Amino acid sequence: MSGFSELIKNYDKTRDYIRDFFIYGFKVRNDFDRKSLRTYDDEKRRIESWFGEYVKYDRSERGQKVSITVDSGSISENPLYQAYRSKSFTDNDIKLHFFIIDVLHNGENLTLKEIVEYIDTNYNEIFDVQTIRNKLKEYVKEGIIITEKKGKTAYFRLSTDGVNEFLYNYEGLSDAVKFFSETQEFGIVGNSVLESARLKNDLFVMKHNYIVHTLEDIIIPEIISAIEQKKYIALISFKVNKANNMGYIVPMKIFSSLQTGRRYIVGYIPVINCFHSFRLDFIRTVRTGDICEEYDRIYEKFSQDLNYCFGVSFGSGKIETTVITFCIDEKYEKFIVDRLKREKRNGVLEKIGDNLFHLTVKAFDSYAVMQWVKSFTGRIISITGDNKQAIKRFYSDINKMYNMYGGREK
């Protein structure tokens, strides 16, 4: 028991463990070889404490498997948000939080000296001035406290932007927050708004909901800030020996695949002069570098290249053409034609005869096209194109699958 805490100081290590428990439901204690088994036990215990009902145990020949299991299409709140609510703090942090808000509760503008004196007199606690000064400075940064200077003296007051005042004065806002709190772009922030207002999302559920993405929300603000400032970034990987050896990259956009469940930061790598996608879940931290003087020129090239990016890969920068011929019964299977239209991205769809369609895709990565094309299994007449290897693999895969399912056996 001693030494164990439900709270954590750093999110990085825990993030990696949660991901493993959630994504892979089959790992046993000995599979976690990052650090000591004691570390595993502590992380596991914290995860059990945070995620309670979603933690599942199964026995296997190799030992007990622990997993976080969620049907994310039927939940109203992402359970992984709990991990964000576990930041450790000192006794002074929690005392000063409630004391300072209490001192400034009635809208007073007070100096540091007045706040220190009030706390000393009223709460039977003595803090040194520097501790309170630092806390005030921190809360100014967090937007809880507003500071104004009159002459040389700084005055502090509580922000008047109360959570409840916002949510109840602007009709419909609380419903919007309920919705956005479960969407991809920093839903955790919306969830914190709901928590502050003691509200829960009781209206919406999400389909194709990759709840694990929230674990990456911790590093994205740094990336976005670098994009805004047109700066280089260095990506520090979880695996020490697999640390990013590309040096600094120029960040362009966050790519999110709603099919594969992966998110990436796409950036330009100066040393090899190409764009590349880096998995966000493999990145532990991001370090911001200097301003990239050529940012606008690189971004313009990136915007042009986007037209040929079928998934997330920029390949070697060479555009490959693939032509797929589909056989679709137009009378009874119009929904397949509709599916092609809505999923083809930059592809050009042409009707070439009765129930026959050509789709021409120009892309950097023909393998990404092939993976998608396989979802039309049963309707493809032929595939031709520049990347012979990718096409050969498609034909070979169909043969393998045919044999796997017993060919013509009954």
Partner 1 sequence: MNIFHEIYSTYFRIASEILKLPNITEKDINKIIETYGFRNSMLFLPQKFLLQNDGSDWGLLKRSSDGKLVKVIKNKPIEILTEIQKRWLKSKLDNPKIKLFIENDTLVSLKKRLEDVTPFYSSEHFRYTDQFSDGDDFSDELYQENFRKILKAVKSHEILEITFFSGNGKKISGKYIPLKIQYSAKNDRFRLFCFSLKDGELFHSGVINIGRVEQVRNTSEHYEKNISTDDYFRKRKCKEPVTVCISDERNATERFFMEFAPYEKNTLSNSDDGKCIVKIWYDYQEETELLIRLLSFGPVIEILEPPEFRRQAKERITRQYDLLNKNRRQ
Write out the binding residues for partner 1, residues 119-148 only, by CB under 8 A.
122-125, 141-144
Residue 180 binds partner 1, judged by CB under 8 A: yes
Judged by CB under 8 A, the residue of 25, 34, 231, 298 near partner 1 is 25
Question: Token pair of 75, please?
Answer: 């939940």
* C-beta neighbour count of 28 within 10 angstroms: 15
Residue 217 binds partner 1, judged by CB under 8 A: yes
Write out the binding residues for partner 1, residues 329-388 only, by CB under 8 A.
335, 338, 341-343, 345, 371-372, 374-382
Question: Token pair of 196, please?
Answer: 């502050």
SS3 182: coil
The identity of residue 304, as a single letter, is: Q
SS3 331: coil
SS3 59: strand
Residue 170 binds partner 1, judged by CB under 8 A: yes
- The CA distance from 119 to 92, in Å, is 12
φ, ψ (nearest 5 deg) of residue 170: -110, 100
- Contacts with partner 1: how many residues (CB under 8 A)? 142
Judged by CB under 8 A, the residue of 36, 63, 98, 271 near partner 1 is 98
Residue 236 binds partner 1, judged by CB under 8 A: no
Residue 70 binds partner 1, judged by CB under 8 A: yes
| 5 contacts 88 by C-beta, under 8 angstroms | yes
Judged by CB under 8 A, the residue of 17, 21, 99, 278 near partner 1 is 99
Judged by CB under 8 A, the residue of 162, 243, 319, 392 near partner 1 is 162
User: Which are the contacts of 330, defined by CB distance < 8 A and separation ≥ 6?
Assistant: 337, 354, 355
Residue 319 binds partner 1, judged by CB under 8 A: no
For partner 1, the closer of residues 72 and 360 by Cβ is: 72
At its nearest, how many Å lie between partner 1 and the CB of residue 132? 15
Element housing 156 (H / E) = strand 153-158
Judged by CB under 8 A, the residue of 114, 175, 333, 386 near partner 1 is 175
Nearest CA among 279, 363, 384 for reference residue 318? 363
For partner 1, the closer of residues 37 and 94 by Cβ is: 94
Residue 197 binds partner 1, judged by CB under 8 A: yes
Pseudo-torsion of CA 185, 219, 188, 74, nearest 10°? 70
For partner 1, the closer of residues 40 and 84 by Cβ is: 84
Write out the binding residues for partner 1, residues 26-55 only, by CB under 8 A.
26, 45, 48-50, 52
DSSP 8-state code for residue 281? G
For partner 1, the closer of residues 153 and 183 by Cβ is: 183
Judged by CB under 8 A, the residue of 63, 221, 247, 317 near partner 1 is 221
